[in-house]
Structures are given as C-alpha cells and as structure tokens.
C-alpha cells in the first residue's frame, strides 16, 4: 500500500483532513473565522522547525516534523492532480528535508519522527511523544484545534498541575526558609555581641557610600524635584567612563518605588525607554525595549513600534531604515547598535537594576544604541492567533527561543537602525539560545548579522548544581508525569500572581531567598540596598515544556550539554586525556616545548580537526566572561572545547575567568563595570565593522579605530 494516496479525490480529502487537524479551529464551513484560520501549508524555518501558515496569513507554532511533511506532500499532490503536473508551491519538499537532516557523520541530529505519529484530537496523554526521541531536542506534543474533549483534558492538566506544582513550590519555599535558620542565628548572635555582621561583606564601605548618595538624592528630589543636582556629585565610581552627568538629566527620583518598569529606572538616570512589539516567525509577539537619551533622540510613533510581519531579514529590510531612527540622531552622532538578551526566568530588566552601574545604562551612556530583547511570553504572553489557555501557546522550548525569538529580535533592531550587523550581549539562557541558533544544523547564517557575541556566564555545559535533590526529582520522573505535575501551559504561574500581589520589598526578599536556595547564589557582591529591586523583573512566564527541556529526563539535565549527548562528552574527555598524556610523554622524553606553548600546530593535529564541530564559517567572533564560582553552569569546559580546537571556525577574541564571581555576579556585582562592563564596551567597539566605526561616534573611553583590528585568538 502506498504511503500517500494517489487518486485525485483521495488526495484532496487527505489534504483537507490533514489541514483541518493542524488548523486553529475545528473545520466548520459556516464559520468564517474557522475558514480563515485553516492550515494551508507548513513553512520550514529550519529543516527541523516547521510552522503552519493559515489561510489569512497567520502562523501557528511547532508541529511534529512528520505531520508538517504530510501536509505539504498532500498539498503538492493535490495541486499536481488539479493542474496537470503544475509546479508545487511548497517551500521545501520532502527530499530536501531528508537531505538537510543528515549531519556530517551521517546521523540524523533531529530524529524527531521516531515513534508513532500522534493524531490530533486524541487524548492529551496520548499526545505526549515517545520518550525515544532525540535527547537534545525531543519531539513536542501535537495538540491540534480545540475540541470539547481536548478542552476538558486541558483543564484537567491545569487542575492537577495547580495542586502538585504548588506543593513542589511550597516545599522549595520551606526548604529555603529552613536553610536560612543558621544564617539568621549567626546574624542575631553577632548583633547581640555588638558586632556588625555586614562589615564582613566585600563592599561594605562602598555599600554605605552608595546608600548615603541614594538617601541624599531622594531628599533633594523631594525638596527641589531636581535629583540630578545631588547625583552629579557621586552616584557611580565610573563617571569618568560615561562623560559629564549633566548630559543625562533624570526625570524620575525620590525613594525607589520598587516597580516592574524599565522606563522608570531609566528615567532615574536620565535616560528613556520605548517599547517595540516584534513578531516571531511562529506568531509570538515579544517585547523589544530601546534605551535612549531623550536629548538626542525622539521616540518613534506607536504605529511604528507595532508588530511587524512574521518574516526575518526580508530582502528590503534595510531599505527604509535609514530614514527612521538614524535620521533622528544628529549627523555624525549615530551609535552602534547592541542587543542584550536575558537569562532563564528573567526579563531584560535584569540589565537595568543598578542605577548608573547597570550594564544597559552604562553602555547607553558610553555611546552605544542599546536594545533589550525579551523572549516569548515574558510578563505578557501574546500570540498573533493563540490564547493563553491554548496548550499550543506553550508548546516550545529553548530550540524555538533560539531559532525563532533571537532572529526576530536581531532582524527588528537592524531594520530600525539601518546597520548590517550588531553586537550581541547575552547572559545565561540568552547565551544558550544563541549557541543553539548559531549551530550549523540550525540557523548558522544568523552569525553574519552579529559582529561579536559576548557571552556572560555561558550556559552550555551543566555545573555540579544539577545534582541537587530537587533537580534530580524532576529528572527521574517521566515526561508524562512531568506534564501531570507541572502542566502543559505556563510553568507554576502562581509565581506571577505572587509578583502581582505582594509588596515589592516582601516579594524581593522572598524571591532572593528562594532563588538563593535553588541556585546557590549569594548577595555578597551585590549592593544589598538594591537587592529587592533586582528581583522585580523576575520571574516571567515560561512554558512547562521549556523547563522540562532544562530539567527533565531526556534533555539538558541528563545530557549535561546543549549540543552534545553525555556519551559524546565522555568520548571527548577521553580523547583529551589521551592527547594530554601523549604530549606530556613526548615532552619528558624529548625535552621539547609543550605543544600548547608552540606558536602553531599542524593542521593534522587532533586539536585542529574539529571533528563534530557545532559551528561553521558563519559563526561570529566570541568573547566570554566565565564566573569561576558558578555552580549552575560550567563555563571552563566550554573554554576548553575552544582551546582544544574542536571548533576550528570559532575565533575567541576575549576570554576571562573571574574566580570569585557566581552566576549572577557578571551582571549584578558592585564591581561588574570594572571587571566586565568596561571590557564588553571595548570588545563591542573593536569588533564593529569598519564601515560602522566610520559612521558612529566613538564610545566614551574607547580609542578611535581607523583600520580593521585583528584580535587573534585567546
């Protein structure tokens, strides 16, 4: 029996049935909305990432690969049957897909079609894919249009997860409070013995100074409504880097209101923020914040900031951009664009919480055009077609964030600014989605749009924290039980209700204690006077599927890497150990210099072969800042991969391990500007394209460059 029907009537019926199973609404010839949202074809963003196009031009996200292929095959055969062999309008045919899925070693990286195909409309438990899918990017469920049965079952998942996930959250909160007892006891003891427990903090004196400045600033603002008159006398240790403070006149001041509003904190330091809505290729609407100086830039109209088309880098995406943002800046004052992307459970507001010493504000005042990119859902889940309660709204993980969200953000920034490249700065999960997106099996051409990728606390390999009891629990339960416990919608949405209900000071204190317990963070190097503010921009809405990717049985927590299985990692470690032993043996036998000390290595060296490299020639230069005391991720291992020559196309232009830093210190430590921010500022400028350096103003503290710079390799 043929896999696909051959008779014209059968083909047409098969296409209609398949299209109906992937549409927004159940098929109803009397409902215009149902007809306009019927699935038409599958568009492949990458060979493994299909999205569904509807009759009205909308997009529906993530369906299994085999279901998308069948839709396109039926469509092609139906068109051929009805047009005497006319050409198909499908973007990619099945043959191209099969060829594109093969990796260099001949194995299918994205074998997401393994296991039986799940039919839409089946019970939601049956929609859970086989656990025997690829361990790095397992197949997502197929939910299909809503029916009475699906809605009832979806509600059942919501009810079970509401109770079970709250029980899990309650256990975590109780655990965090219990582990706080020794710290509280010690604090009370020191107070009773007339000792100051805060004096042991690394930046005790600086914390006192900043607290006094904030207090004076609030009083001055209250009396004169002119906060800048006080802050200009000493709010930051890095004023020499950002020029005269009078250029940036604050329009907000007084006591910190502890609110979740990036614009509010920008106005406190003399800047402003405008929000753009960006549409991804699978229909999500995500927020892009533009930080600017209101004295040399005028915000664009709301219509200009509306969502664009679900297409990235169209042929004419730079055609009209020079007449928009660039012309709003004085001639010769253009600024090089920089996009900042946040970490897990955070928003881009994490870059804006330390007043003058926030990375986003520091770069903006130094002379960069700063854009803050948020991932899908964030604080306000939005989709072109889907509603909050639809499980398809939450059917995504890190793969979709990298393949869909990041290109959409980069495309919009370049379109609005008129530049051909930008600098990309990411923290934690932001680095993960970038490393995934740049892989040669995903969207390697994205690297051509990035002048340098600055990775802060790069999250590629798992750290020892993944072995903690509560993480092990999430790893040992089956995918089905994970969905029963945490649902098929947002991951523990009660956290967002707490964010809305609780006062900022209580929420900030509780948030710090819980996340400190989970991830072994401490506030030792943060400004404790701003600690409650740091947690006003977290958590955000994320999908349960995304958290399952991070913590579930098959994916990151088990493989301990985002682009290689545990077995591949073990083989690499064994090969490295063998090479080291051979090199040391040769060194002691022959008295030759250690190969790592030689200026060049043979192209036949195992280190230079780059077997199973993740990246190709499109990959941009990389700069890495690794937190040496980070237990959440292992940045040292990523550096070793680059040093060992396993990525021959990766050019590391800057690498630094800050031994005393923990995971969040790279963006929140009081000396972050000194140890990270200044270097990021310089790397961004030195790697900018020559034509951009000739057009843009030189950032404060950077050297004017009139020729291309060759960083070499670190």
Nearest to 420 by CA among 689, 41, 34: 689
Determine the Cα–Cα distance for residues 127 and 25; give it in Å rounded to an integer: 18
Chain position carrying tokens 């393949």 = 403
Determine the Cα–Cα distance for residues 653 and 452; give it in Å rounded to an integer: 9
Which stretch of DSSP H or E encloses residue 80?
helix 65-82
Would you say 267 and 389 are in contact if contact means Cβ atoms under 8 Å apart?
Answer: no
Determine the Cα–Cα distance for residues 709 and 712; give it in Å rounded to an integer: 9
DSSP 13-70: HHHHHHHHHTSSS---TT-HHHHHT-EEEEEEEETTEEEEEETTS-EE----HHHHHH
- Strand order, beta sheet including 450-456: 272-279, 285-292, 369-373, 337-341, 422-427, 450-456, 622-627, 652-658
Would you say 625 and 457 are in contact if contact means Cβ atoms under 8 Å apart?
Answer: yes
Positions marked catalytic:
428, 630, 663
Report helix, strand or coil for 217. helix
∠ CA 31-34-37, nearest 5°, is 150
DSSP 186-215: HHHHHHHTT--GGGGSTTHHHHHHHHHHHH
C-alpha Rg value of the chain to the nearest Å = 27
Enumerate helices (H) and strands (E) in the chain, giving the number of each: 27, 11
Query: Helix 148-179 to helix 469-476 angle, to the nearest 10 degrees?
Result: 160
DSSP state of 593: P
């Amino acid at each position: 029996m043929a896999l696909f029907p051959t008779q014209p009537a059968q083909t047409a019926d098969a296409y209609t049935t398949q299209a109906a199973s992937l549409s927004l609404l159940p098929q109803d010839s009397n409902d215009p909305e149902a007809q306009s949202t019927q699935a038409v074809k599958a568009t492949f963003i990458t060979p493994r990432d299909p999205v569904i196009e509807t009759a009205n031009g909308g997009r529906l996200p993530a369906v299994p690969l085999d279901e998308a292929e069948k839709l396109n095959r039926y469509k092609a055969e139906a068109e051929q049957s009805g047009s005497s062999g006319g050409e198909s309008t499908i973007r990619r045919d099945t043959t191209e897909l099969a060829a594109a899925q093969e990796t260099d070693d001949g194995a299918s990286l994205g074998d997401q079609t393994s296991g039986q195909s799940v039919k839409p409309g089946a019970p939601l438990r049956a929609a859970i894919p086989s656990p025997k899918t690829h361990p790095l990017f397992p197949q997502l469920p197929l939910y299909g249009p809503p029916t009475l049965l699906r809605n009832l079952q979806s509600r059942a998942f919501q009810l079970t997860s509401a109770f079970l996930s709250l029980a899990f959250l309650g256990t975590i909160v109780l655990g965090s409070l219990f582990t706080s007892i020794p710290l509280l006891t010690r604090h009370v003891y020191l107070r009773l013995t007339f000792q100051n427990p805060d004096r042991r903090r690394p930046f005790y004196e600086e914390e006192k100074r900043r607290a006094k400045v904030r207090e004076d600033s609030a009083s001055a603002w209250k009396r004169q409504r002119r906060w800048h008159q006080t802050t200009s006398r000493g709010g930051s240790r890095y004023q020499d880097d950002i020029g005269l403070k009078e250029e940036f006149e604050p329009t907000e001041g007084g006591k910190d209101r502890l609110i979740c509003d990036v614009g509010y904190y920008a106005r406190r330091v003399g800047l402003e923020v405008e929000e753009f809505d960006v549409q991804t290729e699978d229909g999500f609407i995500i927020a892009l914040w533009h930080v600017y100086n209101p004295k040399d830039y005028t915000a664009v109209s709301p219509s200009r900031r509306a969502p664009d088309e679900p297409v990235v880098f169209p042929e004419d995406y730079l055609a009209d951009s020079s007449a928009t943002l660039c012309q709003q800046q004085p001639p010769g004052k253009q600024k090089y664009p920089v996009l900042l992307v946040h970490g897990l459970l955070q928003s881009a507001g994490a870059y804006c919480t330390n007043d003058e010493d926030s990375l986003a504000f520091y770069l903006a005042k130094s002379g960069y055009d700063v854009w803050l990119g948020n991932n899908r859902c964030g604080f306000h889940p939005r989709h072109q077609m889907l509603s909050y309660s639809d499980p398809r709204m939450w059917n995504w993980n890190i793969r979709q964030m990298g393949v869909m969200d990041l290109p959409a953000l980069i495309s919009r920034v370049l379109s609005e600014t008129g530049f051909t490249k930008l600098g990309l700065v990411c923290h934690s999960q932001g680095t993960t989605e970038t490393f995934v997106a740049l892989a040669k099996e995903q969207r390697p051409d994205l690297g051509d749009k990035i002048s340098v990728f600055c990775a802060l606390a790069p999250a590629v390999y798992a750290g020892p924290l993944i072995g903690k009891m509560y993480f092990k629990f999430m790893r040992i339960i089956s995918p089905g039980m994970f969905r029963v416990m945490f649902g098929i919608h947002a991951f523990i949405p009660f956290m967002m209700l707490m964010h809305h209900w609780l006062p900022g000071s209580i929420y900030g204190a509780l948030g710090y204690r819980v996340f400190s317990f989970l991830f072994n963070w401490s506030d030792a190097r943060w400004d404790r006077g701003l600690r409650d503010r740091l947690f006003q921009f977290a958590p955000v809405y994320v999908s349960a599927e995304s958290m399952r990717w991070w913590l579930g049985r098959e994916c990151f927590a088990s493989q301990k890497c985002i682009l290689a299985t545990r077995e591949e990692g073990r083989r690499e470690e064994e090969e490295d150990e063998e090479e080291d032993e051979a090199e040391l043996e040769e060194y002691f036998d022959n008295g030759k210099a250690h190969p790592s000390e030689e200026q060049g290595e043979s192209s036949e060296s195992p280190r230079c072969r780059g077997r199973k490299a993740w990246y190709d020639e499109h990959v941009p230069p990389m700069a890495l800042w690794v937190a040496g005391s980070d237990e959440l991720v292992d940045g040292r291992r990523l550096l070793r991969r680059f040093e060992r020559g396993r990525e021959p196309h990766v050019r590391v232009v800057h690498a630094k391990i800050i031994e005393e830093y923990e995971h969040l210190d790279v963006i929140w430590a009081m000396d972050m500007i000194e140890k990270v921010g200044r270097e990021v500022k310089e790397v961004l400028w030195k790697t900018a394209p020559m034509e951009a350096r000739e057009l843009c103003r030189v950032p404060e503290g950077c050297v004017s460059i009139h020729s291309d710079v060759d960083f070499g390799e670190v």
